[in-house]
Amino acid sequence: MKEGAWSPTASIGYRLSAIGLLIASLIIYPPLWDPFWPRQAGLVAPSPPRLAFGHYGLWDDARREGELLAAFGRVDTALEQQIRAAAGPQIFTDMPGTAAAAGAVSRMQVFEARQLIDQGAADQSALLADLAGGTPPLAVLDYLGNWLTPEIVAVLRHRYAQDGSLGTFDLYRPVDAGPQRAVTPPADMGAGLEIASYALAAPLSVAYEPGELLTIALNWRRADVAPAEAAIVVVAHLTTTGGVPLRESELPLIYAALPPGRWPAGVVVQHLQTLALPEELPPGRYGLAVELRGGGAALAPPRRITEITVRAAGGRTFEETGHFVPAPIMRAWAELGGIERIGLPLTPVVPFAWGRLQCFELACLELRDGKVGTRPLGTQLYLAETIRSVGCPEGPLNDGVCAGFKDLAEQHGGSLGTPVSGELLRNDWLVQWTTEARLERRPATGQQGLGRLGDESLRLPPGDRYRWP
């Protein structure tokens, strides 16, 4: 037979190989569902192939699908409540179906719009100006990145701050510096720009404390002259009452996302900036001034916008994480159990329209209507827990906590809240969820502790810090 001619033996071998591969594909398959965690949309997690039969086989995969769908249903219901509670008919989201399910409109059809923007067929300037002004009032994000443009990510990271999470979604709300105060007359700051008004978030005590983070919102508008095209930096100054500079902070104007030449005509554009007061700052009166710089040089003299009073009240900066805890939240932190119950601060104090938020390792504290309390993170995070339980193997204590967690119940008392689950096995730990915590116990050693719910509610990648300011 000539070389390269058809061979019946070779044909049979190819067929047998194909049949073998087909059989193998039915016996060994890539799982559809992670056996432990709900996945974000589009996030690929390592999933080694499994046998179709036996533990974690097809039958278990089908059961796991039901558990995940139930968890997603609970999260979707909670998301709908959050969206409907937000003022206005629009939200910002990278999953437009989430808005539609709650009867709202997504401010951007992210996937399609990104392609048009990249091709130069669409302009995002109006959207960026709206986001810079804190409109819309809620952003529901599956992932801060992906199909969002770098400019949108920059504005969301500086003008909005994360207000916890639900399931695989992060909630972002505009940082609220309070009511705007007019600058009279409007200050010409150079580069064809002027300050029309400003806002400064109020202190949590009777005065600002040394180490506290000031939140300043500046409303800018273009003058009649053409704005400079060079990169512009906003500089906020802390000064003495005589104008001597003490500390400054720099941030690109509108976070380098929206140059003044692209501002919509007649629109006031807002820029948010923070300034940390020195920890060693003596009590007294101080000035706040603003200037613009281009190419490292001042474009006009600094303009003083207001004065503040500084006085120590019992707040503290934690060296371990670098975050300042103001006096009212510090008192609540100590009363609730301090480092053992609340943990170290993971975020600064963030001003939102509803109040102030500061998250710690084990809990998040909220200041609402003048009172500081814990956010019910156990209730919130248990919505996405796919492993459910209603019973206690050894019976419950008087407060409903399972008897196996007696030590934790005695140590932390009422700060744990009331149970929302029974005892269940989670990642080789026996756990029980309460409204405020997750109680954890090692079956082999009896070691007990609390879950890092404050950390988990932020869903930050390992090693990453909170994304604001």
Q: Is residue 80 part of a domain?
A: yes
Amino acid letter, 439: L
| 169 & 215 share domain | no
| Residue 91 domain flag | yes
Specify if 21 maps to a domain.
no
Do 346 and 455 reside in the same domain of the chain? Answer: yes
Residue 186 lies in a domain: yes
Report whether 281 contacts 210 (CB < 8 A). yes
Q: Give yes or no: residues 97 and 161 share one domain.
A: yes
**pLDDT by 10s per residue, the chain, length 469:** 455 555 666 677 777 777 777 776 667 766 666 666 677 654 555 566 767 666 666 777 788 888 888 999 999 999 999 999 997 789 999 999 999 999 999 999 999 999 999 999 999 999 999 999 999 999 999 989 879 999 999 999 999 999 999 999 999 999 999 999 999 888 889 988 999 999 999 999 999 999 999 999 999 998 766 566 678 999 999 999 999 999 999 999 999 999 998 988 788 999 999 999 999 999 999 999 999 999 889 999 999 999 999 999 999 999 999 999 999 999 999 999 999 999 999 999 999 999 999 999 999 999 999 999 999 999 999 999 998 999 999 898 888 999 999 999 999 988 999 999 999 998 889 999 999 999 999 998 889 999 999 999 999 988 899 999 9
Asked if residue 244 and residue 96 are part of one domain, the reply reads: no
326 and 461 both lie in a single domain: yes
> Residue 154 region, left (φ>0) first, then alpha (ψ -120 to 50), else beta?
alpha
Give the list of residues 6+ apart from residue 413 with CB closer than 8 angstroms, or none: none
Q: What is the reported pLDDT for 184?
A: 87
Distances (CA, A) of 252 to 84, 231, 296: 34, 7, 12
- Boundaries of domain holding 202: 181-310
In a domain, 388, yes or no: yes
Please report whether residue 298 resides in a domain: yes
Tokens of 301: 């003299």
**Residues 149 and 218 reside in one and the same domain:** no
For residues 13 and 6, give the distance between their C-alpha atoms in angstroms, rounded to a whole number: 13
| Domain boundary, last residue among 174, 189, 208 | 174
CATH number at residue 254: 2.60.40.2550
Whether residue 339 is found in the same domain as residue 464: yes
Residue-level pLDDT at 225: 61
Instruction: Tell me: do 327 and 447 sit in the same domain.
Output: yes
| Strands in 301-418 per DSSP E | 303-310, 316-318, 323-325, 350-352, 355-359, 364-368, 371-374
Q: Which of 382, 391, 431 is nearest to 408 (CA)?
A: 431
pLDDT number for residue 55: 66
* Full strand arrangement of the beta sheet holding 448-450: 419-426, 429-434, 438-441, 448-450
Amino acid at 62: A
Please report the pLDDT score of residue 32 as a whole number: 66
Given 248, 278, 310, the domain boundary residue is 310
Query: Do 377 and 348 share a structural domain?
Result: yes
Condensed to tens digits (0 to 9), the pLDDT of residues 174-214 reads 999 999 999 988 888 998 899 999 999 999 999 999 999 99
- The pLDDT score that the predictor gives to residue 187 is 83
Could you tell me if 203 and 209 are in contact, meaning their C-beta atoms sit under 8 angstroms apart? yes
Q: What is the pLDDT of residue 427?
A: 83
- Asked if the structure places residue 242 within a domain, the reply is yes
453 neighbors 437 (Cβ within 8 angstroms): yes
Domain membership of residue 443 (yes or no) is yes
Q: Tell me if 342 sits within 8 A of 321, measured CB to CB.
A: no
- In order of 7, 11, 14, 310, the CA distances from 4 in angstroms are 9, 13, 15, 90
- What span, in angstroms and rounded, lies between the C-alpha atoms of 99 and 90? 8
CB 241 within 8 A of CB 275: no
pLDDT for 46 equals: 57
Q: What is the pTM of this model?
A: 0.90
Domain closes at, from 280, 310, 340:
310
Domain total of the chain: 3
Q: Which of 337, 343, 371, 340 is nearest to 355 (CA)?
A: 371
Which residue from 460, 464, 412, 463 is spatially nearest to 438, judged by alpha carbons? 412
185 Cβ neighbours under 8 A, 6+ residues apart: none
pLDDT of residue 463: 86
Matching residue, tokens 């200041």: 367
Same structural domain, 136 and 194: no
Shared domain for 165 and 185, answered yes or no, is no
| 229 to 193, 221, 297, 409: CA distances (angstroms) | 12, 15, 15, 62
Report CA torsion sign: 373, 379, 383, 387: positive
Q: Are 338 and 460 contained in the same domain?
A: yes
